[in-house]
Amino acid sequence: MAVPKRKTCHSRKKMRQSHDALDVPAMSIDRKTKSVHRPHHVDLRTGMYRGKQVLFREAEESTDDKGGADKA
């Protein structure tokens, strides 16, 4: 079993632990809706990504189909 020859000094231990700190994740603000989301990810509130509707598309299509059938 490996045993250290000397006790690790305080400064060396702290230098090693400096990379263990937690970072706050970066956030982006949408220009239109002003909602906060992670950059390069889908906005989970609106379902938009880069100006296109990606999530919740089925709900919008079903409401559009109902409106079109009533008018025709």
Domain assignment of residue 48, yes or no: yes
Domain enclosing residue 42, as ranges? 26-71
Domain assignment of residue 19, yes or no: no
What's the pLDDT at 18?
94
Q: Is residue 70 pLDDT above 70, yes or no?
A: no
Looking at the 3D structure of the chain, how many domains does it have?
1
Q: CB–CB of 38/28 below 8 Å?
A: yes
Domain assignment of residue 21, yes or no: no
What's the pLDDT at 10?
97
Domain assignment of residue 61, yes or no: yes
**Residue found under tokens 């189909």:** 65
The larger pLDDT score, comparing residue 43 to residue 11, is at 11
Domain assignment of residue 3, yes or no: no
Per the structure block, which two tokens stand in for 68? 């079109």
Q: CB–CB of 41/47 below 8 Å?
A: no
pTM over cut 0.75:
no
Q: CB–CB of 72/66 below 8 Å?
A: no
Domain assignment of residue 50, yes or no: yes
- In sequence order, the β-bridge partners of residue 37 are 28
